[in-house]
Structure 1
Amino acid sequence: MIRKSIILTKISEIEESVNLIDDNLPETFEEFRGLGLVRDGMYRRLEFAVENVFDICSILNSDLKLGVPGSDGDVLENLLGAGIIDEETFRKVKAMRGFRNIVVHRYGKIDDRITFRILREHLRDFHEFTEKIRKTLETLENK
């Protein structure tokens, strides 16, 4: 049995975080750099969104009994192998995890210019992920 309500709640949390980032993300890097606490809030919301993506992946892995993973990477491999996610989604989610680790663990100093570019170019990856998961839930429900 799939814990659909929990997954849908996490999708809503992802969408809320991504929309808040998108609504407050300025057009230029110079404006972004000057945001101070708002910029820090964007980092935190991004971290929260990525954590929810991995929570969803872990729930699906568990509920579909795809195996006991040793890491987030194993969860993604299991979902890919079961056809729950495709190769493109696998790559994007793996990149999300890598970026989240940089933000959370502050490996070196975070380059705001790179972060700004990532936010401008990859926020839509979250929307693509949530849409794919919604479709997956529908498909699984109809089986």
Structure 2
Amino acid sequence: MDTLILQEKLEALRRCVRRIEERRADSAGELGKDLDRQDIVTLNLTRAVQLCVDMAVHVIAESEQMAPQTMGEAFEGLAKLGLISEALSLRMKAAVGFRNIAIHQYQSIDWDIVHAITWKGLEDFRNFARAMATLTDNGPNTSV
């Protein structure tokens, strides 16, 4: 497995999470009124999800598992390999659903949900990053 690819994607994920933390709003109402903040947060959330999918697919490609047919299946594959928990797999699959809405149906985004993700959902990205970091030379202490 090319650990350099994982390290680069982990660094990009770190930047996305940091940017979300810098620009998240104190309330959903505040987020709903600030178009620039909406764009920055949504873009970085969708990027973070995509980076996690990319890492999952990269890891699975090096295993004996069948290639995932969907983005969500990539997280199921990591759970089957014992690299992430089933619970984290389910939450990451839900994040893919958010990504799809954000990319394909931007006008129908529920800013209350986005606000909650920016305050409560970032830990999922951190947990995912820790799991991927165990596969690199940097080990599990690589933080996001």
| TM-score (normalised: structure 1) | 0.86
Q: State the percentage of identical aligned residues.
A: 25
**Which residue does the alignment assign to 2:28?**
29
**Which residue does the alignment assign to 1:106?**
105
Please list, as runs of the form range in 1=range in 2, the aligned pairs for 1:53-92 lying within 5 A after superposition: 53-92=52-91
**Which residue does the alignment assign to 2:123?**
124
Tell me which structure has the larger Cα radius of gyration.
1
Q: Give the C-alpha shift of residue 67 in structure 1.
A: 1.7
Q: Give the C-alpha shift of residue 127 in structure 1.
A: 1.0
For 1:62, the aligned partner's letter is A
Q: Give the C-alpha shift of residue 107 in structure 1.
A: 6.9
Which segments of 5 or more consecutive residues in structure 1 lack a partner in the other structure?
none
Please list, as runs of the form range in 1=range in 2, the aligned pairs for 1:3-22 lying within 5 A after superposition: 3-22=2-21
The C-alpha deviation readout for 1:5-38, integer Å capped at 9, x for no partner, is 1111111111101111101112122322232123
| TM-score (normalised: structure 2) | 0.85
Q: Structure 2 CA distance, aligned partners of 1:136 and 1:87?
A: 19
4+ residue segments displaced more than 3 Å: none
Q: Give the C-alpha shift of residue 52 in structure 1.
A: 0.3
Q: Structure 1 CA distance, aligned partners of 2:6 and 2:23?
A: 26
Q: Give the C-alpha shift of residue 135 in structure 1.
A: 2.1
Query: How many correspondences in the alignment?
Result: 139
Which segments of 5 or more consecutive residues in structure 2 lack a partner in the other structure?
140-144
Q: Structure 2 CA distance, aligned partners of 1:50 and 1:38?
A: 18
3-state secondary structure, aligned to 1:8: helix
For 1:98, the aligned partner's letter is G
